Amino acid sequence: MKRIDLKANGDSLQTLISMDGGHVTEYYTVHCDGFLVGVGIFHNHNEKCTCAMVKDEVGEKHILGRLSDEFPLEVTELHQLEEYYNKMFPDNSL
């Protein structure tokens, strides 16, 4: 499973907009090959997620991401990502 293969599903779980309106962070459930696999962060309405927490085929939790200056990740975003993931897959929480 690759980060670029993950697709946002349905409505966003949460949308955050910076005070100046120049930065949008959205959380979506993500699918890969038609299967619900986790939760992803999408910045500025990009089709590709910046970072995702996913459950692989053997049930292990992974983080897939791309670090860049264009879309920096905040610690609070990662905490929120994990919170959504743990609600989706309570048996897979660490």
- Structural domain spans, the chain: 3-92
Nearest to 64 by CA among 30, 93, 92, 94: 30
Whole-structure pTM over 0.85, yes or no? yes
CA distances in angstroms from 89 to 8, 16, 35, 46, 48, listed in the order given: 17, 23, 14, 25, 22
Q: How far apart are CA 45 and CA 11, in angstroms?
A: 12
pLDDT per position as a tens digit, 40-83 = 999 999 999 999 999 998 989 999 999 888 888 889 999 999 99
Q: How is residue 44 written in tokens?
A: 């500025």
pLDDT band for 93, please (50, 70, 90 cuts): low
Which has the closest alpha carbon to 23: 45, 50, 47? 45
DSSP state of 68: -
Nearest to 75 by CA among 55, 51, 54, 94: 51
